[in-house]
Amino acid sequence: MTSELASIETFLATVPPLDRLEAERLTALARKMSVRYFRAGQTILEAGSHNDHLFIIRSGAVELRLAGEELTARMAQGGIFAYPSLLRGGEVNNTTVALEDTLVYMLPAAQFHSLRDGSQEVREFFAENESERLRSAVRDLSQKRSNILEETSIAGLQRHRPPVSCHPQDRVAAAAMTMSEHDVSTLVVCENDRICGILTDKDLRNRVLAAGIDPDTPVHEVMTRDPVVLPETATLSEAMTRMTAGGFRHVPVVSSDGDLRSILSATDILAFLGDSAVDTGTKISKARSREALIAAARRIPEGFARMQASGFHASHVMRFTSALGEAVHRRAAQLAEIELGPPPCSYAVVVFGSLARGEQLVGSDQDNGLILSDDVDGAGEKYFDGLGEWLSDLLHECGFVYCNGGIMAKNAAQRLTLSGWRDRFDHWIDDPDEDSILRATIFFDMRAVSGEAELARHLHKHIRRKVKTNSLFLSYLARDAQRSRIPLGIFRNLVLEKSSDGQKVFDAKGQAILPIIDIARTLALAEGSPAVSTIERLEWLAEAGHMARSDADSLRDAMLFVNELRIAHHAEQLRSGKDPDNAIAPGELSPLERDYLKDSFSVIRDALESVKRNMAGGIV
Amino acid sequence: MALDFELDGLGRGAHVLQAGWVEVSHGGIGLSTARSTDVRSLRQLDDQAVTVHGIGEQRARGGVAVRDIVDLFLREFAGKIIVAHGASVEREAISRISKAAFGIAIPVRTVCTLALERRLKPNLPGGDAYRLAATRQRYNLPPHEQHDALSDAIAAAELLLAQLSRMPPGTHLGAIETH
């Protein structure tokens, strides 16, 4: 006698997470189920009641309302519901009503629990909250996408050239000469064959020259002590993670005995991956003319698409794309100086928004300005008038198109002295109104990419101090963050919203990423954090105890997950010759991606709610 | 008990090739009760029907003997009402094989979802509108795999649940029994 439920099993095999189960397990599971039918409008589960089944929608659609009131989700064929109640011991929170005539398969609680016990993947899918599911999603994506990075050890891409080193007692000038002679940007400082420090170009600039330190100073006084080192058995992925987390581009590689083997640079990794990014980066920084820079910059989108195809994480793609963007801005400013002559006073080119945060993808417009030294005179202003125009025009040609809002150095309003910028920020902060906040938030993500970085640092410090004590301004920021309508999820092929019945496409930037950026910015400014990138802000907030670690991690995961989707979407558009945008059609997403997107929305909504509760109170 | 027979032909003397059944009540369908079995037939198979049902002669010969099926019915179906779409086919087949086996026709009570549908929606144009697949579609039930006895039995059971949802709560199966 046979007892085949083949068609039911076939259906179950398309439903995540059951799709991960072996066929035999699925067969056994199908036989434990019962089938029920609910007429449109009929209540399937009532909030407050007891439930002992997992529900899988075979046909039709249902609506979940928290405590019978607030719409929390809609689901159609393949949707699974009621498991949170099983995890709580049966207590039902959401009233579930059939929106259409609905056929459901029901799995008894006991089987549901043994299913969870038997598989980690299933357990993670049916995690108690969105955050846990999202965490496993981000991990899954990383695992799926970065095999090359996980399987290759850095030993495979070390240079043959022995690393250049010096002694901690050597003079800084001598160390600089050694670096120059060997044409390296990083020098390892060794004592008795052990690494005790590292000295980079940047250190020479920031800690020696800019700080006015005597070149005769011994190296150990300015070096970075006890730098992070990597064993040569580390994988590319580990190396990239350490570099990204630490924000450095060079890491000494040591043998198992602790002997220095080489210096690994971010460039080495990119070169290994055969990506054009490194090549593009070199071409950008060495461009001798407008035309050369334009040609190099226009290769960024191609490099972006390749990074995506090679399986780079969202965080790396953002970071590398931003690095290239920054290089274009810096080189454009240098070319402008070559063209217009040396600047009459010190100044800095600052960028705002995504480039400042190191979160740029492709297709962004330019958001920049100049901070001029306070001693600039009339002739000087004229010079910067020309430089600003030259810069904006060139950047436009390079693919960083003119900013609709006019936030670019060619506009006089974006070329202020340090005091002028201070006044402008003071005005925003002291006298906030909804309209000015809307346009001003982008300015609070700021970074110098060329010229005198100290000017930007001064300004940033000033802003940080001022904002921290201004709760009215912060409440405006908190309220501004609430502007976006965060969807509930994807229902059928519509983006489900609370207020309207749904829309055809999901604005991945406006409806998910911007709110996360806003949340991180608002909280970071409130606590006086110096961090600018969203992930660093979240990390800072968690470290400093201003945000629960789990909340910070969840927001980070949501951001990475949605950016993975955005990057894939952009890369696909670039490959088919379209201009990248952020409008993702639900049809582009897999069932699992839809589920994780729903979790991301939930995490974002919760965080927005908490910001609103804690900070927007002053004016609401 | 929702029951479906796949037969080797359309005529009155057609033999049962496959049987599938599952229990259904107001509370739903319990898939653990789902069974299907091939039925051994010694008769030369009608080529056309065999193609449709995908049950070859060899497989049919390897199935359970008709006599065993009757025993099974007596055990499993005792006291239960048989649900089928076009239940007269099942009713007649049961009476035929029980007569052949014991000399008497086992009395069966049936609920015919087709007859029920004609009662619920009397004026649909064309006979095709009352076929199982078309009827299921009207209740937003998913497409099902046809010409598989168990799949058809489950399909009829699901349809019965859908039809019951259109009737006063607590409608007794006896009240919709087909005579």
- How large is the average pLDDT for residues A309-336? 88
In a domain, A499, yes or no: yes
Chain A's closest residue to B38, CA to CA, is A1
A55 touches B: beta carbon within 8 Å: no
CATH code of residue A240 = 3.10.580.10
- How large is the average pLDDT for residues B138-163? 93
Considering the domain architecture, whether residues A46 and A91 belong to the same structural domain is answered as yes
> Distance between CA A7 and CA A28 in Å, rounded?
14
Distance of CA A170 to the CA centre of its chain: 41
* DSSP β-ladder status, B82-84 and B110-112: parallel
Asked whether residue B46 carries a pLDDT value surpassing 50, the answer given is no
Considering the domain architecture, whether residues A83 and A184 belong to the same structural domain is answered as no
Last residue of a domain, one of A423, A456, A489: A456
Question: Mind telling me how many Å the CA of B166 is from chain A's nearest CA?
Answer: 8
Considering the domain architecture, whether residues A237 and A335 belong to the same structural domain is answered as no
Asked whether residue A2 carries a pLDDT value surpassing 60, the answer given is no
Residue in B34, B144, B157 closest to A3 by CB? B34
Structure tokens that stand for A280 in this block: 């593009």
- Which domains are delineated in chain B? 2-176 (3.30.420.10)
In a domain, A469, yes or no: no
Considering the domain architecture, whether residues A177 and A244 belong to the same structural domain is answered as yes
Look at residue B107 in the predicted model and tell me its pLDDT. Answer: 83
In a domain, A468, yes or no: no
In a domain, A219, yes or no: yes
> Distance between CA A550 and CA A399 in Å, rounded?
38
> Sign of torsion, CA A105 A111 A115 A116?
positive
In a domain, A132, yes or no: no
ipTM for the predicted complex comes to 0.88
Query: What stretch of H or E contains B18?
Result: strand B16-25
SS3 A445: coil
> Distance between CA A482 and CA A341 in Å, rounded?
47
User: Mind giving me the DSSP string for A241-303?
Assistant: HHHHHHT-SEEEEE-TT--EEEEEEHHHHHHHTT-HHHHHHHHHHH--SHHHHHHHHTTHHHH
Q: Specify the range with the lowest mean pLDDT, choosing from A600-604, A612-616, B3-7.
A: A612-616
Q: Which of the four pLDDT bands, split at 50, 70 and 90, describes residue A619?
A: very low
Asked whether residue A442 carries a pLDDT value surpassing 50, the answer given is yes
Contact A7 B151 (CB under 8 A): yes
Considering the domain architecture, whether residues A501 and A599 belong to the same structural domain is answered as yes
In a domain, A131, yes or no: no
Q: What is the DSSP letter of B45?
A: P
Asked whether residue A406 carries a pLDDT value surpassing 80, the answer given is yes
CATH code of residue A419 = 3.30.460.10
Last residue of a domain, one of A231, A249, A272: A272
pLDDT tens profile A261-289: 888 887 777 776 655 566 677 788 889 99
Considering the domain architecture, whether residues A307 and A449 belong to the same structural domain is answered as yes
Considering the domain architecture, whether residues A433 and A290 belong to the same structural domain is answered as yes
Last residue of a domain, one of A272, A304, A331: A272
* DSSP β-ladder status, A61-66 and A53-59: unpaired
Q: Which of the four pLDDT bands, split at 50, 70 and 90, describes residue A620?
A: very low
A44 touches B: beta carbon within 8 Å: no
The total domain count for chain A is 4
Considering the domain architecture, whether residues A433 and A301 belong to the same structural domain is answered as yes
CATH code of residue A122 = 2.60.120.10
Contact A42 B148 (CB under 8 A): no
* DSSP β-ladder status, A583-584 and A506-507: antiparallel
Residue in A3, A30, A58 closest to B142 by CB? A58
pLDDT tens profile B98-111: 887 778 888 889 99
Q: What are phi and psi of B123, to 5 degrees?
A: -110, 30
> Distance between CA B121 and CA B146 in Å, rounded?
23
In a domain, A134, yes or no: no
Residues A345-382 as b/e (b if ≥16 CB within 10 A, e otherwise) read: bbbbbbbbbbbbbbbbbbbbbbbbbbbbbeebeeebbe
Contact B30 A7 (CB under 8 A): no
Asked whether residue B49 carries a pLDDT value surpassing 80, the answer given is no
Considering the domain architecture, whether residues A342 and A441 belong to the same structural domain is answered as yes
Considering the domain architecture, whether residues A378 and A293 belong to the same structural domain is answered as yes
pLDDT tens profile A336-390: 999 999 999 999 999 999 999 999 999 889 999 999 999 999 999 999 999 999 9
Percent of chain A with pLDDT over 70: 93
Q: Which of the four pLDDT bands, split at 50, 70 and 90, describes residue A250?
A: confident
Considering the domain architecture, whether residues A336 and A198 belong to the same structural domain is answered as no
Strand order across the A250-254 sheet: A230-231, A250-254, A260-265
In a domain, A266, yes or no: yes
Q: Which residues of A touch B137 (CB under 8 A)?
A: none
Q: What is the number of other CB atoms lying within 10 angstroms of the CB of residue B71? A: 12
Residue A211 is part of which domain span?
Answer: 153-272
Q: Which amino acid is at A416?
A: L
Asked whether residue A1 carries a pLDDT value surpassing 50, the answer given is no
Q: What is the number of other CB atoms lying within 10 angstroms of the CB of residue B60? A: 22
Contact A37 B31 (CB under 8 A): no
Considering the domain architecture, whether residues A426 and A320 belong to the same structural domain is answered as yes
* DSSP β-ladder status, A250-254 and A230-231: parallel
Q: How many CB pairs under 8 A join A and B?
A: 83
pLDDT tens profile A104-118: 999 999 999 999 998
- Which among A296, A299, A303, A298 has a CA at the least distance from the CA of A320? A303
* DSSP β-ladder status, A165-166 and A186-191: parallel
> Distance between CA A83 and CA A72 in Å, rounded?
15
- Which among B21, B56, B23 has a CA at the least distance from the CA of B40? B56
Q: Which of the four pLDDT bands, split at 50, 70 and 90, describes residue A7?
A: confident
A5 touches B: beta carbon within 8 Å: yes
